[in-house]
Amino acid sequence: MENYRPKLSISGQVAHMKSQGIKFEVITEDEAFHYLENNNYYFKIKSYNKLFEKYQYTDKKGKYVNLDFGYLVELAVLDMHLRHFILKTCVDLEHTIKVKFLRDFNYSKSDGYEIVEEYFNLYPEAKTKIREKGNSRYCADLITKLEKEHYALWSIVEVLSFGDFINLYELFYDKFPNSKNEILFTYPMRNIKNIRNAAAHNSCILNQFTEDCVGININRKVVTYLSKIKTIGTDQRISCMKKQVVHDFVTMIYVIDKSIESEGLKKKIIEELNLLVNVRIIKHKEYFIKNSDMKTVYEFIKKVVDNLSNE
C-alpha cells in the first residue's frame, strides 16, 4: 500500500536500525532484541534518533553519526527519571499555588460564590467535568455535597483539574488584582501544565530538548531571572530558551524558587533535582560527549540548577 510502512518484527526492527548506521556495541543485537521485546517499544526508542546527526556527503550519507543503540536506551531511561521528577514536583507546586491562591482569596473582598458562578458561565464544561468525577469513589462524597449546596471557591479547587484551576485562577486575579498585591505566575503556570501533562501522558521529553520552537512566547519574568545568573551568557540564554521543553522546564525551576515557602519541601525538591542533573544524567556522559547540541542544553540547565542550589 502506498505511503504505508511495513510491519517489522523485532528482528526486523534491529536490522532496520543497523541499516541506518546504528551500532550495537554498548548493547549487543541479542540484548537489543530482548529490550525491545520486554522493556520498551521500537517507536518510542527510535524517537531519540532525532538528537543525532546523519552523514551528509560521504558514502555513508543518510546514516547516523556515532550512534549506538545503547545511547538510545540510556536516553529512554533518563527520560523516565525526568518524567518522574516533573510529575512529583508539579504535584507539590500545584498544592503550593493553591495554598497561596486561597490565602489571597481570604484577603480579598470576594464572597467566593459570585466568582464561581461567573467562572461556570465562562467555562460551562468545567461543571460537567466536576459532575463526571462524581463517579469516582475518591471524589463522590465531596461532589455530592457540592451539588446540594452552592459551589464555593474554596471547595471547587479540590475537584478542578489543573488546567481548569488555571482558568479560575486567572479570572480571580483579573477581578481582584490587588489581593494582597500578589499575582503569582499566571502565564508560567500554563508552561508548567504543558510539561506536566507531557510527563503524565508518558510522552518523550528529552527527544525535543534540542529542538527550536518557532513563535515561542518566552516569559519575561523567567528571562529576567536567568539574566541574573552570572554564569549564563546572553547568547546561551537566547539560544536555549527558544526550545519549548527547555523553556518550560526552566520555568518550572523558576516557580520552584519563587513560590515554595516551605524550607523542607524546597530543600527536598532541590536535592532530587541535583541528583537528576548532576549525578544521574552524567552517569554515561561519554555517550553524548560529541553531541554539541545536547551538551549546550545540558550545560545551560545545569547552570540554572546550580544557581538554585547555591542561593
How confident is the model at residue 205, as a pLDDT?
A: 95
| Mean pLDDT of the chain, nearest integer | 90
Are the CB atoms for 91 and 46 separated by under 8 Å? no
Q: Note the helical H segments in 39-113.
A: 42-46, 69-107
Give the whole-number percent of the chain exceeding pLDDT 70: 91
Residues 293-311 pLDDT 10s: 999 999 999 999 999 998 7
Half-sphere exposure of 57 (CA within 13 A, CB side): 0
Decide if pLDDT at 122 tops 80. Answer: yes
Gap between the Cα atoms of 244 and 248, Å rounded: 6
Mean pLDDT of the 136-165 span: 79
Tens-place pLDDT, residues 241-280: 999 999 999 999 999 998 898 999 999 999 999 999 999 9
> What element of type H or E holds 236?
helix 234-241
Write phi, then psi, for 29 (nearest 5 degrees).
-65, -40
Contact residues for 225 (Cβ-Cβ < 8 A; gap 6+) = 254, 257, 258
What is the 3-class SS of 119-146, one letter each residue? Answer: HHHHCHHHHHHHHHHHHCCCCHHHHHHH
Domain ranges of the chain: 10-74, 110-175
Dump pLDDT digits (tens) for 228-252.
Answer: 999 999 999 999 999 999 999 999 9
pLDDT per residue as tens digits for the range 196-208: 999 999 999 999 9
Q: Are the C-beta atoms of residues 55 and 161 closer than 8 Å to each other?
A: no
Model confidence pLDDT, tens digit, residues 176-223: 876 654 545 555 788 889 999 999 999 999 999 899 988 888 888 899
